[in-house]
Amino acid sequence: MSQSLPSSADFSKTPVTVLTGYLGAGKTTLLNRILTENHGKKYAVIINEFGEIGIDNELVVDADEEVFEMNNGCICCTVRGDLIRIIEGLFKRKDRFDAIVVETTGLADPGPVAQTFFVDDDVSRRARLDSIVTVVDARHLPARLKDSREAEEQIAFADVIVLNKTDLVSPAELAEVERRIRSVNRFAQIHHATRCDVALDKVLDRGAFDLNRILDLEPDFLKNNPAHGEAGHVHDDHCGHDHHHHDHGHDHGHHHNPAHGEAGHVHDEHCGHDHGDSIHDTTVKSVSLKLDTPVDSRKFDAWISELLATQGQDILRSKGILDFKGSDKRFVFQAVHMIKDGDFQRDWRSDEDRFSRLVFIGRELDRDALQKGFEGCRA
C-alpha cells in the first residue's frame, strides 16, 4: 500500500530537522552550535539518551528510539512511537519554539524517523519534516561504509551531508570520500567542514521536503552527469564500465555475457569479483533515469505506484521531475520508501529543454527494469 505525503507547502507547521551520523562524527558539536549561536530562534532538541550528552537546555528532551511497526499493510512502514509522544508533549508547552531538531544515534535507521512525520496525523498536523542532515567523518567514513549498513543508510536518506573533519584527510582522500558519498546518494548537498563549522542556514530550515524547493536546492539534479573522467563525474550505471559487484542472489534472466574468463566477458555486476574499485562494499546506490520525450501522467502514476508498493522497502528515497504530455508545468515528485508526493510546479521556460528525470536511491535496484518501466510511461 502506498500512501501520500501530506502537503508539504504548509509553512505554518513547525519545521523538523533530523540530524543523523555516527558517534564521533561531530553531531554534538553541531547541536551545541544550534542551541547556543545567536540566530534568534528557539529550538527544541530531541536527543537519544545513549548518545553524546553534554548539552543542557530546558528544551532538550531525552528519547528512547522506540521503533514500532505499523500494521497498516505497508511492509516497510515503521514509526518512532517515542517521537510521536514527545512532539505532542512539546506542543502542550506554554512557551513555544520555532523549530525542532531530532538527533538519532549512529545506529539508527533514518527511515522510521522520516516516516513518522508522514504516517502520524497528529504529528503531521503540527510539524513538517524539513530535511535530513547527516554528519560524516571524512577520515572514518570509508571504514564505516564497510562495516555498517546504518552508515550507508544515513547517507542514502540525507538531503544535506556535512562532510566533517576535512582537515584530517588529504585532498585526494577527500575527493575519494566525496565520490563514495555520491555513489550512494546523487542528490544530497555536500558541505565541507572542520569542527562542524558549516553555516547553520545551510543545514536548518531548508525545505528539502517541499516540492517547490526541491529543484532550487538541487540545481545539479537537472544536469546530466559530467562525462567519465571529468570533474564531478559520478560513476554510475551510465558510464559504461562497472564498479560494483552486487550479489543479488536472483537471476536477471539475461545470459548473453560469456562466462567469466572467457573471451568477450564483460565485468558486470553479476560476475561476483572485485574490479578494484573501492566502493565494492556499498550496497546502496543511486540510479538516474532520463527521458527526452513527454511522459503520460496516467501511465507514470500507475507504474510508480506499483513500483513503490512492491519495491518500496528497498527504494529508500526517490525524486523526479516530469514533463507530462498536455501540461506546460513541471511535475515534481518525491518519495520516502512507499510514501510519495507529487505536484505541478512552475511552467517550463521557453529557453529550457523539456525532459523527465528520476533518481532512485536504494538496494537491489535493477537499472534495466527501472529504465524499461520508465520508458513504458512515454506518451
Which chain residues interact with another protein by CB under 8 A? Answer: 49, 58, 61-62, 64, 66, 68-72, 79, 81-82, 84-86, 89, 92-94, 120-122
Distance, CA of 35 to CA of 101 (rounded, Å):
10
Our CB check for another protein shows the closer of 44 and 316 to be 44
**Measured from the CB atom, is 64 or 343 closer to another protein?**
64
C-beta of residue 203 within 8 angstroms of C-beta of residue 162: yes
CB 265 within 8 A of CB 330: no
Phi-psi sector, 43: left (phi>0), alpha (psi -120 to 50), beta: beta
Residue 308's contacts (CB-CB under 8 Å, 6 or more residues apart) are 2, 315, 318, 335, 337, 338, 340
| Alpha-carbon distances of 42 from 16, 36, 38, 87, 132, rounded to whole Å | 12, 10, 10, 15, 19
Return the percent helix, strand and coil in the chain, to nearest 5.
30, 25, 45
Residue closer to another protein, measured from CB, 78 or 154: 78
Strand duo 3-4 + 329-336: pairing: unpaired
How far, in Å, CA of 115 to CA of 9, rounded?
17
Q: What is the per-residue DSSP string for 270-304?
A: TS-S--S-GGGG---EEEEEEESS-B-HHHHHHHH
Distance CA 258, CA 264 (A): 6
Measured distance CA(216)–CA(375) in Å, rounded: 26
Strands 339-347 and 329-336 come out as antiparallel
